[in-house]
Amino acid sequence: MYIFFSSCGIFIRVNKKISKKLINTNYSVIQFTCSFISFEMLTKTHKKSRTRKVCKYIVITSLFLSIFFILIFSINPCYHTTRILLPNFNINYYKNAQTTPINISDIIFGIAGNIKTWDTRKHYIESWWHQNVTRGFLFLDEAPIQHLPWPPTSPPVRVSSDHKDVPYTIRMARVIQETFEAENRNVRWYVMADDDTIFFLENLVDILKKYDHEGYYYVGMNSEAVISNTLFSFTMGFGGAGVALSYPLAEALAKNLDVCLNKYRKLHGSDQILQSCVSDFGVSITQEKGFHQIDLHGDISGLLSAHPQTPLVSLHHLDAVEPLFPAMDRQQSLNHLMKSAKTDQSRLLQQSICYHHPKNWSFSLSWGYSVHIYEKNIPSSFLQVPLQTFGEWRKGARPAFMVNTRGLSRDPCETPHVFYFDSVEESGGGGKRLEVVTTYVRRLPRRLPPCLVNGNHSADYVEKILVISPVKRLVTEGSRRECCDIIQMEKGNATTIKLRPCMKYEMIG
């Protein structure tokens, strides 16, 4: 019996199963108590025994050992170190968690431009550049004497150090070095772009905050055209769409750019030189689908009406495509798109799909840009594929595009009624924004007979679509597309759609 009680303290200490059940028990007290009980029981049991003295000696020894173990376990360095170091380890392990959130002031823009095209391109930069908010520089090949005084609505201008008898590609590649040398304090990211690139700054910040600015990151996207990626690289960030470099990578490039320029001087483009140099540092591209090179021609409404489920970050080459909205020129179209972007960038071009089953209509919404009505129930997987309203970058190149496309059709069941963004209003009460209402109107008649597959349910009479969306910022990372309901069909030739989060097990269709 005495062996059991004198050993119970140590047994409890080492036995994991018992320890789990005794989480809130003081083990030291249990050890001492077990030893004391063993002493008393042996004293009573062996009062008349000749071995009483021996037993007392054994128990006293056991008691001494128990006290010794109490002291050892109470100051056990391993036990306390485990409890203290584990939280610290977890904090250090998740290095991506930045101590302070990134904002637009942590980003420096390096924009490459040309004095000959500045007059026709400055409205692109001025559409997103915010005085005293955005930081960065426009690098021109010559001093803009004819444009002085320089307007505060444009970025601060600098003349590239390499502009005489230097290939254009070399000058463009050196912009990263000149930008870093011009501004390198309190910077997390450097974003390189062309002067005809449009950025959506809130979305850019949302994208970059996912990554650790103290690591080596080269963030961008390849071209929409297979031929462009074939000629240059499928793993290159196209500079027209914009590329983002974390501070350590930008610093390394700036310090070693001359070596890269000598090594890759014969490459065709500055983007390819930059990508080759980045590769020499052992860094690969991190692709983000919200950067758009727009190596396309014609009407890109089909692409913009089926944007991937990611924030819209940039648009490039808008001079090479038709205006974004019918009956507007390029500058008017851009300013018009910025109206919806100003209200809610997180939802801009985000696609939602819903159905009106009584009439078998399918709705595809690209928030802030367009709404399509199909007079047929069409699966969402089909509607997420862009209509090929646009042409290839190089005529005759096959395959042409990096995305799947749907061909245009004269079938009234496959051809949508198209409505474009017209206006935006905010509603609420008590000084609070509660809902955003965007309006979409028909610009051109469809000029096709009704789809008769499920009866004559023509949508020709619809002239306006109202979309009600919540004020809460939309999160696309790890989330589902927003669901929508048709809440009103035929009031004044208008249809009303309300966006909402999808229910847990809800399927679209």
Query: Residue 209 belongs to what domain range?
Result: 104-293
What is residue 96's predicted lDDT score, i.e. its pLDDT? 44
Residue 320 domain-assigned (yes or no): no
Q: Which of 355, 353, 361 lies closest to 455 in space, CA to CA? A: 361
Give the rounded percent of residues in the chain with a pLDDT score beyond 90.
68
pLDDT tens column, 269-297: 889 999 999 999 999 999 999 999 999 99
Q: Are residues 64 and 111 in the same domain?
A: no
- Of 23 and 76, the structure prediction assigns the larger pLDDT to 76
> 22-26, 139-143, 243-247, 275-279: which range is least confident on average?
22-26
List, for residues 239-273, the tens digit of each pLDDT value. Answer: 999 999 999 999 999 999 999 999 998 888 889 99
Same domain? 268 vs 166:
yes
Pick from 293, 308, 323: which residue ends a domain? 293
Residues 275 and 407 in one domain: no
Amino acid at 478: G
Look at residue 386 and tell me if it is in a domain. Answer: yes
Count of CB atoms within 10 A of residue 199's CB? 24
499: nearest Cα among 334, 351, 332 = 351
Check pLDDT > 60 for residue 76: no
- Choosing from 293, 324, 356, the residue where a domain stops is 293
254: CB partners within 8 A, 6+ apart? 176, 177, 180, 181
Whether 327 is in a domain gets the answer no
- Nearest partner of 246 among 277, 284, 214, 291, judged by Cα: 214
Residue 118 has pLDDT above 90, yes or no: yes
pLDDT in tens, 457-489: 899 999 999 999 999 899 998 999 999 999 987
Three-state secondary structure call for residue 20: helix
Residues 130 and 270 in one domain: yes
Q: Does residue 88 share a domain with residue 191?
A: no
In a domain, 32, yes or no: yes
Q: What are the φ and ψ backbone dihedral angles of 136, each rounded to 5 degrees?
A: 150, -170
Chain center to CA of 92: 23
Residue 404 is part of a domain; what is its CATH number? 2.70.130.10
User: 166 and 281 share a domain?
Assistant: yes
Quote the number of domains for the chain. 3
Whether the per-residue pLDDT at 10 is higher than 60: the answer is: no
Give the residue from 33, 67, 93 where a domain finishes: 93
DSSP codes joined into one string, 392-441: -SSTT-SS-BSS--B-----TTTSPEEEEEEEEEEEEETTEEEEEEEEEE
pLDDT interval class at 106 (50, 70, 90) = very high
Is the CB of residue 124 less than 8 Å from the CB of residue 334? yes
Give the C-alpha separation, 127 to 122, whole Å.
9
The DSSP 8-state label assigned to residue 387 in this structure reads B
Q: Are residues 236 and 89 in the same domain?
A: no
Backbone angles phi, psi at 421, to 5 degrees: -55, 135
CATH classification of the domain holding 243: 3.90.550.50
> Over 70: is that where the pLDDT of 65 sits?
no
SS (H, E, C) 21-60: HCCCCCHHHHHHHHHHHHHHHHHHHCCCCCCHHHHHHHHH
Band (pLDDT 50/70/90 cuts) for residue 232 is: very high
Binned at pLDDT 50, 70 and 90, residue 165 comes out as low
The per-residue pLDDT for 429 is: 62
Residue 1 banded pLDDT, cuts 50, 70, 90: very low
Predicted pLDDT of residue 71: 52
**Average pLDDT, rounded, for the chain:** 84
Looking at residue 485, what is its pLDDT?
94
Q: Is the residue at 302 inside a domain?
A: no
Q: Choose between 73 and 195: higher pLDDT.
A: 195
pLDDT band, residue 492 (cuts 50/70/90): confident
* Residues 212 and 110 placed together within one structural domain of the fold: yes
Asked if the model's pLDDT at residue 390 lies above 80, the reply is yes
pTM of the model: 0.79
**303, part of any domain:** no
Q: Is residue 117 part of a domain?
A: yes
Average pLDDT on 136-151 reads 93
> Does residue 334 lie within any of the structural domains?
no
Give pLDDT, residue 81. Answer: 36
Does residue 209 sit in the same domain as residue 131?
yes
Report the C-alpha gap between 55 and 137 in whole angstroms.
Answer: 90
Q: Tell me, what's the pLDDT at 269?
A: 85
User: Are 142 and 289 in the same domain?
Assistant: yes
List pLDDT tens digits, range 302-346.
Answer: 999 999 999 999 999 999 999 999 999 999 999 999 999 999 999
The region that residue 282 occupies, defined by phi over 0 for left and psi between -120 and 50 for alpha, beta otherwise, is left
Q: Are residues 271 and 164 in the same domain?
A: yes
Confidence category of residue 63, pLDDT binned at 50, 70, 90: low
Same domain, 126 and 23: no
pLDDT at residue 215 tops 80: yes
Q: What confidence score (pLDDT) does residue 85 get?
A: 35
pLDDT at residue 218 is higher than 90: yes
